[in-house]
């Protein structure tokens, strides 16, 4: 199990870093809007939804952001985050990266339990954390 954990972490480490960074970047304009930065002031002054458009009750409808605003970049960053910007191959890689996170969580927990049991079998005090 450790061999697979080690090799997959090397393989998917950079992809997971890419996904983490683009995920954080996609939230920055949203935070700026919510916490009253310049984007928040622009959103408050934005024109209402066009006449004739019915916004569903469960949604918040907003006008399209100005092309020069940080909010306009969210769609592009989302495409980078999901791998859609790189076509079907990018989407497959992003999906595999997500599945690798599940694998790392379970294999890491499995290895920890095995180490804990080995300490118990050797007669060493099996604490939750050890040096």
Q: What is the per-residue pLDDT across 74-92, written as a single tens digit (0 to 9) for each?
A: 778 888 888 888 888 988 8
**How do the domains of the chain map onto residue ranges?**
2-49+59-121
Give the relative orientation of helices 73-82 and 87-121 as an angle to the nearest 10 degrees: 60
Ramachandran sector of residue 83 (left: φ over 0; alpha: ψ -120 to 50; beta: rest):
left
Within the chain, which residues score under 70 in pLDDT?
33-34, 36-51, 62-71, 126-131
Helix (H, G, I), strand (E, B) or coil at 125: coil
């Amino acid at each position: 199990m450790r061999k697979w954990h080690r090799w997959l972490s090397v393989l998917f480490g950079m992809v997971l870093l890419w996904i983490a960074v683009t995920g954080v970047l996609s939230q920055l304009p949203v935070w700026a809007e919510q916490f009253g930065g310049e984007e928040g002031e622009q959103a408050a002054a934005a024109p209402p939804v066009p006449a004739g458009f019915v916004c569903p009750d469960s949604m918040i409808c907003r006008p399209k952001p100005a092309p020069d605003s940080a909010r306009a970049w969210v769609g592009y960053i989302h495409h980078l985050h999901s791998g859609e910007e790189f076509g079907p191959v990018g989407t497959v890689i992003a999906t595999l990266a997500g599945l690798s996170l599940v694998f790392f969580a379970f294999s890491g927990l499995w290895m920890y339990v095995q180490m804990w049991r080995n300490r118990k079998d050797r007669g060493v005090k099996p604490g939750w954390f050890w040096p």
